[in-house]
Amino acid sequence: MIVGNAKFANFGKISDALVYLKEHPEEKRKIFILAGVYRERLHIDLDAVELIGLGSVEIVYGRYAWEKDEHGNDIGTFSTPTVYIEGKDCVFENIIFVNDAGQGDLRGQAVAVFVHGDNIKFLNCQFKGFQDTLCIGPLPPKQLNGSDFPEKNERRYFEQYRVLFEHCFIEGTIDYIFGGGTAVFIQCEVKSLCRLNPNDIGYVTAASTPQTSKSGFTFIECLFTGDARENTVYLGRPWRAYSATELIDCVFGSHIKIEGWSEWQQHTPNIENVRYIERYSNKEYVKYFEKTRVNWVNVKSNYKTIDEIIDSCFE
């Protein structure tokens, strides 16, 4: 099945192809997308579907948390995703996902992709936005104010929530990789953009890993780059108490703060049970980061292969 602006294409919009597949379950669930910019919001609630970009394929939209609904209320973070994925055994390859709402300081959170599913793979994809670019579900049981998340009871339940990112690019400013799922990032570039005020602090990750989950976010041989100012970005902060994030043989630009990691907030630090680990094959790196990182982060020698790490995360 082909989507694009060409006479031989089956559909001109990705959403139309997805609707067709839902109505025709006997069809092969593989969609090839021709080069172009597709300004549409997608809810992908199919299992075992593949979306493959041919050339430069951008899926773009621009909803933001401070946008008003028909009653004059903020629509909130989880009404903003350009693409919402709610399925299992899906593959996305060579696609650029964008939320172009703009800086979070002006618009609030604006999600490019919200993944709520299991055994999802992103290969050579890009995720572009500012605040809360990439959400990896599940969400925590409650919001920080104690209320339920919107549409909580409507979301599909999965036994596990596992996502693989290989050779991908993710950018943002604040908490731009967040959520409670188990995700492995292999040889990805993670870029921190400059905030509206260049002196304001940025955060890469905000995991909300459940206590029962063995692992949260794992970055293997990733590059943490940025055009943010020197020493202005934390690697992460714990959105919930058992937040788990592990970095293995990663490389950091000068924008990353020397201490590496931050509390969630002054009155809710969430550091007592946090599971933050950095592993390095180079023993000199181990010695250096043992001295410079905050004392509630474990810095260790790395002794596992990539395959062993993936197996341990996804078992």
- CA–CA gap between residue 235 and residue 122 (Å, rounded): 22
- CA–CA gap between residue 99 and residue 62 (Å, rounded): 5
Residue-by-residue DSSP string for 32-86: EEEEEEEE--EEE--SS-EEEEEEEEEEEE---TT-B-TTS-B--GGG--SEEE-
CATH of 31-314 among 3.30.110.40, 2.160.20.10, 1.10.10.10, 3.30.565.10: 2.160.20.10
List of residues 6+ apart from 266 with CB closer than 8 A: none
Q: Decide: helix, strand or coil at residue 186.
A: strand
What is the four-CA torsion angle of 58, 61, 62, 63, rounded to 10 degrees? Answer: -140
Q: For each of the chain's 315 residues, which pLDDT tens digit applies? A: 999 999 999 999 999 999 999 999 999 999 999 999 999 999 999 999 999 999 999 999 999 999 999 999 999 999 999 999 999 999 999 999 999 999 999 999 999 999 999 999 999 999 999 999 999 999 999 999 899 998 878 899 999 999 999 999 999 999 999 999 999 999 999 999 999 999 999 999 999 999 999 999 999 999 999 999 999 999 999 999 999 999 999 999 999 999 999 999 988 999 999 999 999 999 999 999 999 999 999 999 988 888 998 888 887
- CA–CA gap between residue 60 and residue 253 (Å, rounded): 28
